[in-house]
Amino acid sequence: MPPTSAINNVVVHPLVLLSVVDHYNRIAKDTKKRVVGVLLGERSKGQLDVTNSYAVPFEEDPRNPGIWFFDHNFHENMFGMFKKVNAKEKVIGWYSTGPKIRSSDIDINELMRRYTNDPVLVIIDVNPQDDLEIPTSAYISVENNPEEQSKQERTFSHLPSEIGATEPEEVGVEHLLRNIRDTTMSSVTDQVQAKLSSLLSMKKRMEEICLYLDNVVSGKIPPNHAIIYNIQDILNLSPDMCNQSLLRSLAVTNNDNMLVIYISSLIRSILALHDLITNKLQNKKWEFDEEKAEEKRKDDSDEKAVDKADKERKEKGKAAKEEEKSK
C-alpha cells in the first residue's frame, strides 16, 4: 500500500548513524534489548533528510510487547534545547535498533504523531549481517483497508532509504576513515570493487525474486499482481545476454578495464622499485660523505697534534737557550 504522505525518499546522514551506534553501545550492547530515540531533520520536495537525533529513555517488557515506557517528558525537554541551537530541524520521526519491526512499534508511532503529522520510523541495524546492504530501513504508518481495520487501524509501509551526506559531513567521514582506508588502491580498482558489490547485491535480489515466484507457483503464497508487474518491468529493462554484439562489447570493456588495472599495477611496482633504488643510492652517498668527513676530521686532528708537538719543542728549546744565557 503506498504511503499517504508526499515522502518519496529518506536520506539518513552519518551523524545520525554515529549517534545511534553510540546510544546502543552505552545502553544495550551484548544484550537483546533495543534503544529508541527521536529523529530531527527537514522535508523538502518529497525528500526527508534525517540530519540529527538524540536518545530517549525507553523500556519494554520482553514477555509482553504491549507494555513499554517512552519518556516523552525527556523528549520534550531535549527538543526544546535542540530547537534553541537549530530551529530548522524539526521532529520528523523516531528510530529503533530493531533489527525488525515489533508489535508495539505502531503504538509508539501513534505517540510520536503528537509531535509531527507523519512520523517516520527508521530501523537502524547496529549489527548488520550483510555488508552489501545499507543498515537502515524506513517506514511510515498508513491506514489499513476497511476489511483489515478490525485487527488494526494503521500499519507500516516501507519507504526507500539511503545514506547521504553534505560536503562538510563527507570531509568529516573521510577524516574518521583515514586510518582504515587503503590509500594504495587506485580509483579504477575502487570502481571495480563497487561494481563487484553491486553484482553480488543484484544476485541476492534475483535469488529473492526466484524464491517468491517458486512460492507463488507452488501455491504457498497468493500472487501479488503489483510485485509481478514490477518483476516484469525489471526483466524488460535487463539487457539481452543472448545478443552477441552486446556480449562482445561487454567483453571488450571488461578487458580494457583489466588492462588498465594491470598496467597501473606494473607502474606502481616500477615506481616503488625506482624509489627503493634512489633511496639506496642516497644512503650510499650519505655514508660516503660521512666517511670523507670523518677522514678529514682525523687528518685535521693529526695535523693539530703535530703542530702542537712542534710548538712544545720550540718552546722547550727557547727555554733551554734562555737558561744557558742566564748561567
The mean pLDDT values, 10 residues at a time, for the chain of 327 residues are: 65 91 90 92 89 93 87 92 90 91 90 91 86 83 68 82 82 66 58 79 87 92 88 84 85 90 91 92 90 85 78 78 73
pLDDT at position 92 is 94
pLDDT at position 3 is 43
199 and 167 both lie in a single domain? no
Total domains, the chain: 3
Q: Rounded distance, CA 180 to CA 188, Å?
A: 19
Residues 6+ apart with CB under 8 A from 27: 33, 35, 55
75 and 167 both lie in a single domain? yes
* pTM as predicted: 0.60
Q: Does residue 244 lie in a domain region?
A: no
Query: Which of 181, 208, 227 is where one domain is finished?
Result: 181
C-alpha distances in Å from residue 281, one per residue of 270, 271, 308: 16, 15, 40
Q: Which domain holds residue 189?
A: 182-238
Distance in angstroms between the alpha carbons of the first and the last residue of the chain: 132
Q: Rounded distance, CA 227 to CA 206, Å?
A: 13
Q: Does residue 248 lie in a domain region?
A: no
Cβ-based burial of 245 (10 A; exposed 0-12, middle 13-18, buried ≥19): exposed
pLDDT at position 183 is 52
21 and 154 both lie in a single domain? yes
pLDDT at position 317 is 76
Q: Does residue 315 lie in a domain region?
A: yes
The C-alpha cell at 177 is: 576513515
pLDDT at position 25 is 92
44 and 167 both lie in a single domain? yes
Q: Which amino acid is at 309?
A: A
C-alpha distances in Å from residue 50, one per residue of 12, 14, 45, 253: 5, 9, 14, 39
Query: Which of 181, 199, 227 is where one domain is finished?
Result: 181
173 and 188 both lie in a single domain? no
Query: Which of 138, 166, 181 is where one domain is finished?
Result: 181
Per the DSSP assignment, residues forming a β-bridge with 42 are 49
Q: Does residue 245 lie in a domain region?
A: no
pLDDT at position 2 is 41
Give me the count of residues in the chain: 327
169 and 64 both lie in a single domain? yes
